[in-house]
Amino acid sequence: MVQDFVKITVLENENEARLLDSILTERDIPHLLRSYHDTAFDGLFQTQKGWGHVSAPPSRHDEIMEIIDDLREAAQSMEESQTRVNRIDGPETPQGRKR
């Protein structure tokens, strides 16, 4: 059975794409990831348009968007936590020592 796929959303970066691919595969959700990287332009379009996009059957749209929203929320929380730690402890030097 061939399913029609539609563009679900643009992915922000390669890490998000890999994690989403892993989760969708684990949950047996049919999907395709398309990178916007173009070797002729050395990835120029990825800085303007995002890493790429995920396509899937329209019936899985809401489920995939919920997963992506959860991933982005978790990433934002981790960034905010790291920012708070850096404010309290100060940034680390490349050798791992506090300034």
| pLDDT per position as a tens digit, 53-79 | 999 999 999 999 999 999 999 988 888
| pLDDT for 89 | 64
Mean pLDDT computed over every residue of the chain: 84
| pLDDT per position as a tens digit, 31-52 | 999 988 766 666 565 566 788 9
Q: What is the pTM for the complete model shown?
A: 0.72
Three-class SS state of 3:
coil
CATH number, domain 6-86, options 1.10.1760, 1.25.40, 1.10.3470, 3.30.70: 3.30.70
Give the confidence band of 98 by pLDDT, cuts at 50, 70, 90.
Answer: low
User: What are the residue boundaries of the structural domains of the chain, listed by start?
Assistant: 6-86
Q: Can you tell me the distance from the alpha carbon of 51 to that of 43, in angstroms, rounded to the nearest whole number?
A: 9
Q: Are 54 and 32 in contact (CB under 8 A)?
A: yes
